[in-house]
Amino acid sequence: MPAARITVRDNGPLRIEGDFEIVDQNGNAFGLGGRIAISLCRCGHSQNKPFCDGSHKREGFQCEVAAFELAPAVPKPASA
């Protein structure tokens, strides 16, 4: 299976395909039922968060995205 690929869809969700796992903030894995592709909500209106339920269409969510380069990461200072 290929490594995970995340596609940011214009006016829609984040589409994840490939070999991936989705966990909550405590590290507990979501049961994905064997899926190798899933969409995550970006609009905040899904009734099935973090997964997309198509609410972005009904709510008129708009956000077009084109790939760009991030600035280099800034190292975090060491803790004392």
The DSSP H or E segment spanning 6 is: strand 5-8
Q: What pLDDT sits at residue 45?
A: 98
Q: What percentage of the chain has pLDDT greater than the value 70?
A: 98
**Contact in structure between 40 and 13 (CB atoms under 8 Å):** yes
Q: What pLDDT sits at residue 1?
A: 65
Quote the distance between the C-alpha of residue 43 and its chain's center. Answer: 11
- Among 35, 14, 12, 32, which residue's Cα sits nearest to residue 23? 32
Domains and CATH numbers, the chain: 1-63 (3.40.5.90)
Q: What pLDDT sits at residue 26?
A: 98
Q: What are the pLDDT digits (tens) for 28-67?
A: 999 999 999 999 999 999 999 999 999 999 999 999 999 9
pLDDT for residue 79 is more than 80:
no
Per DSSP, what are the bridge partners of residue 18? none
| Residue 53, token pair as written in the block | 């339920």
